A and B are shown apart, each in its own frame.
Chain A
Amino acid sequence: MASTIFRPYNSSSAQRSDRSAGDRLRHRQKVREAIRNNIADIIAEESIIGKDKNRIIKVPIRGVKEYRFIYGDNAPGIGQGGDGEPKPGDVLGQGKDGKGGQQAGDRPGIDYYETDVSLDELIDLMFEDLELPDIERKRLRQIEIERQFRQKGFRRKGIRVRLDKKRTARSRVKRKKASIKHHPGVPPPARFPFHEDDLRYHHTITDTRNESNAVVLCIMDTSGSMDTMKKYLARSFFFLLYQFLCTRYQNVEIVFIAHHTEAHEVTEEEFFHKGESGGTFISSGYNKALEIIEARYHPALWNVYVFHCSDGDNFESDNEAALKAAKELTQTANLFGYGEIKPLGSGYYGSSMITFFSQIQEANFQTVQIQKKEDIWNSFKTFLSKDRAREDAA
């Protein structure tokens, strides 16, 4: 028999490689892909809307299973009894003896697992494939701000507070060594004081960065006909819009305008929860928005996004005024959207503002119709596609 060989453990990292790194990376890409493909479903989950950013969401992954032909549920298995005698009818409880797997043999388990992602990560993922509106084109709407001082390099001249003692000491030592080497045989002087040339100072530069601001004006019809479901759909949409803009602009403000026959600026809480009654003048909401933009968010400094959710039930007499105000908004805002929320089976198909608003030809105006939760993501994509289209044209 040939002699046995023992190879000792080799701990030098140069000879060791993380061989599975590439495959792990590819797997993670697959997981992300799977999440992205299921995003419409995930967005439709009520629980993530309006929750705080650090929350962890469980996302079921379907795309990364490895399928084979396997047996289904009616295949019996064999187990080994513990100390007691098993009896027919005994239920093998989950997690018995600390072991979760009750699967016998090598039968592949049902390969369905969930992965945890934070809401933040999910939002990143969601918006990854919605190519970002190109911010650079809106140079006018960016303001230059001085952000902070930053150390960069060293100088021989400077003010006392920025003296770098360590470097100064080092350059003295260098000079000393050089001087000794330069005069061989001469005994080094007992004292070798600092010289002005030794001094080193930090150099500081100011970072200037362009800050981009965006404001979202959420306008919602709070008339009697907007029920909880409709408000929920509207809320989901606003949530997405806000999150999206947060990833694109440094400074995002959000304004809530509730309107029925007249409009008010309200808090988020009031916006979603306070029910009102009465009829609807859409124009009132638009005029209020214009007013607020005029007063606080000058379009030269702000990217203005306006979105209006309504069930399309407007008083006939107001339509002309609404159209006029809407046209004005398209002039001011980057993007102005109108979402009509008609849950399936709500019975309101009589009046629709979408047909009426089709008179507006502006490229940055977009109408979407939302019937159910699952529509939200698609509507959102349609809405943003306008923004892109407009910039491409510009």
Chain B
Amino acid sequence: MATGYTIEDLERWNDRILPLVERFGLDPFPQEFEVCDHEDMLSYMVYSGMPSHYPHWSYGKNFEKLKTLYEYGVSGLPYEMVINSNPSIAYLMRDNSLALQVLTIAHVYGHNDFFKNNFTFRSTRAQYTAETFKSHANRVRHYVEDPSIGLEKVEAVLDAAHALSLQCRRNFAIKKLTADEELKMKMAESEPPIDPFSSIHRRRETAAPDLNKVPLYPDEDLLIFIRDHNRQLSEWEKDLLTIVHEEARYFVPQIETKIMNEGWASFWHKRILETLELPQELHLEFIVRHTQVLRPSPGSLNPYHVGMKIWEDIEKRWDHPSATDLEEFGPRKKNSQEKMFEVREVERDASFLRRYLTEELIRELNLFEYKSRGNDQVVSRVADKENWREIKETLIQNVGTATIPVIKVEDSDYANSRTLLLKHHHDGRDLQLEYAEKTLRYVSQLWGRDVAMDTVLDGRNTQLVFSDGKFALKKAA
């Protein structure tokens, strides 16, 4: 092989890495590595690493974009790609040097361990991943080939469904109630609270809940709500919505844990490679590569860097708690390893940052907040005494699914006209209007009737209405 190493070399290094993985307490799925070239890697990136995936033009678009960027040298390709499945599958780039492959193998075990143990991934059913995606691909291809359906119709549904796919439940730790449970809860809510002094108090007025309203509680799974409540959809359309929803659900945990996951893998590849006693030439290259991946990228945010810094900080603070930490939390009950493995299991990016990104760390990472002013991005806050909390809040709003606006179905029969009423839960950030308009068009396409959405624009309550094929904006007085 022209690459300066053989598969046997990789296996030999892997045999040295695996005992360390075990010794450090990592607990990954069985691992499979596949060596591929850059064309394959581009394809895997586009199709999220899946060996089989349903076709859609957007993947072609993405491929062209990545390929152009790669060929013009604007951006490189990832060293590896690993998918959350059991056994876990990772792709190694053939053209990478041996040092880089060793680093990558160690890094992959970090991700693999994270996929297996972090709570957000529990719902992804890793043992069926490849099969699920394959089955989706087969079903979509089947619909495309069906003469009574065809590419155009399938594409129209997929276009619309893709637009809404991430409008789904974010935190899978919160149980989704069944219709019966919702009904019981609604009834229970309308009961007056038990009053020990009912004999002397006046009886409270209770309003009967409107149990005919659909949904009883605002529903965040837009695609599923439409699938279940639009009776005009045919079976294949419902199936497409299900497929898109399931894929989104599979990817939400990865969106939710980007910083933690990358940080975790980087932390462990560093630890493993430092323990490996690499020969000098490999070690030097490892240091260079490691620094390249982990260096802060001024102006934006490098999740590898931020993530690893926080993990290192946790280790430091639990091994050698500072005086203030001791004063605040008392003596540590766990050692740093126990603590870190607990954190990797029970947190996601938002909670991880909220709990473990300290004031000192924000300052060390040199974080700042920016806002757009005209065409420029202007620094609005820096991490000083007064502002570090705000910076942290903004950061939390910019990670995971917090980057996706929260939009819920409020009513499926708004104004008694079968209009679907959505509500955007405004948190200070306005929607991009052009995108909102086009996406509402997709909602209305799937719903088959008019659609309205309550939101806030420039501080005013606004209703975006898509009715009779026309878009309108109604501002509250």
Contact = CB atoms under 8 A, between A and B. Distances in A.
**Co-assembled chains A and B:** yes
A79 B58 contact: no
Contacts of A88: 379-382
Interface stretch (A100-108, A138-146, A259-267): A100-108
A183 to B, nearest CB: 53
Interface stretch (A69-77, A272-280, A374-382): A69-77
B148 interface: no
B58 A66 contact: yes
B429 A92 contact: no
B380 A76 contact: yes
A104 B429 CA distance: 15
B473 interface: no
A26 B57 contact: yes
Nearest to A72: B432
Interface string A97-127: 1010111111100000000000000000000
A77 B298 contact: no
B435 A106 contact: no
Interface residues of B, number: 89
B283 interface: no
A70 B159 CA distance: 16
Interface in A334-383: none
B461 interface: no
A53 interface: no
Interface stretch (B213-221, B319-327, B399-407): B399-407
B429 to A, nearest CB: 4
A92 B432 CA distance: 22
A116 B435 CA distance: 24
B271 to A, nearest CB: 18
Interface in B142-172: 151, 155, 159, 162-164, 166-167
A71 B30 contact: no
Contacts of B28: 1
B60 A71 contact: no
Given A19-B43, A76-B371, A80-B367, A91 B376 contact: yes
Contacts of B60: 20, 22-28
Contacts of B11: 4, 6
A71 B432 contact: yes
A78 B388 CA distance: 12
A69 B404 contact: yes
A29 B64 CA distance: 13
A78 B398 contact: yes
B249 interface: no
* A interface residue count range (under 10 / 10 to 19 / 20 to 34 / 35 or more): 35 or more
A82 interface: yes
Nearest to A28: B60
Nearest to A74: B430
A128 interface: no
> Chain A's interface: helix, strand, loop or mixed, by majority?
loop
B59 A76 contact: no
B33 A6 contact: yes
B377 A68 contact: no
Contact of B33 (A1, A2, A4, A85): A4
Contacts of B33: 4-7
B175 to A, nearest CB: 25
A103 to B, nearest CB: 7
Nearest to B33: A6
Contacts of B167: 69
Interface stretch (B126-134, B179-187, B299-307): B299-307
Interface stretch (B224-232, B284-292, B338-346, B436-444): B436-444
A309 B301 CA distance: 60
Given A72-B431, A77-B377, A85 B398 contact: no
B16 to A, nearest CB: 12
Given A1-B18, A81-B366, A89 B7 contact: no
Given A72-B429, A91-B378, A67 B435 contact: yes
A166 interface: no
B405 A71 contact: yes
A193 B429 CA distance: 93
B293 interface: no
A81 B371 contact: no
Given A71-B431, A82-B298, A7 B30 contact: no
A56 B87 CA distance: 50
Given A2-B30, A7-B35, A92-B376, A79 B404 contact: no
Nearest to A22: B55
Contacts of B369: 76-79
A76 B162 contact: no
B61 A64 contact: yes
A144 to B, nearest CB: 43
B22 interface: yes
A192 interface: no
Given A68-B439, A73-B372, A88-B381, A99 B300 contact: yes
A2 B87 contact: yes
A98 B40 CA distance: 27
Contact of A78 (B1, B55, B301, B436): B301
Contacts of B398: 77-78, 104-105, 107
Contacts of A22: 55, 60
Given A6-B10, A24-B63, A82 B299 contact: yes
B36 interface: yes
B337 interface: no
B94 A9 contact: yes
Contacts of B467: none
A195 interface: no
Contacts of A101: 300
A191 interface: no
A51 interface: no
Contacts of A70: 404-405, 431-432, 435
A99 to B, nearest CB: 6
Interface in B6-63: 7, 10-11, 14, 18, 22, 28, 30-37, 39-40, 42-43, 46-47, 55-61, 63
Q: Of residues A29, A72, A83, which shows the largest number of chain B Cβ atoms within 10 Å of its Cβ?
A: A72
B63 A23 contact: yes
A69 B431 contact: yes
A8 B40 CA distance: 13
20 contacts: A4-B31, A24-B60, A24-B63, A27-B57, A27-B64, A28-B60, A67-B163, A68-B162, A69-B431, A70-B405, A72-B433, A73-B372, A73-B432, A77-B377, A80-B301, A92-B377, A92-B379, A99-B297, A101-B300, A105-B301
Given A23-B55, A79-B368, A87-B379, 11 more contacts: A5-B31, A6-B7, A6-B35, A7-B34, A70-B435, A77-B398, A78-B369, A79-B367, A79-B370, A88-B381, A101-B300
Closest 9 CB pairs of A and B: A82-B298, A23-B60, A81-B366, A2-B30, A27-B60, A24-B60, A67-B438, A75-B429, A72-B432
Interface of A: 1-9, 11, 16, 18-20, 22-30, 64-83, 85-92, 96-97, 99, 101-107
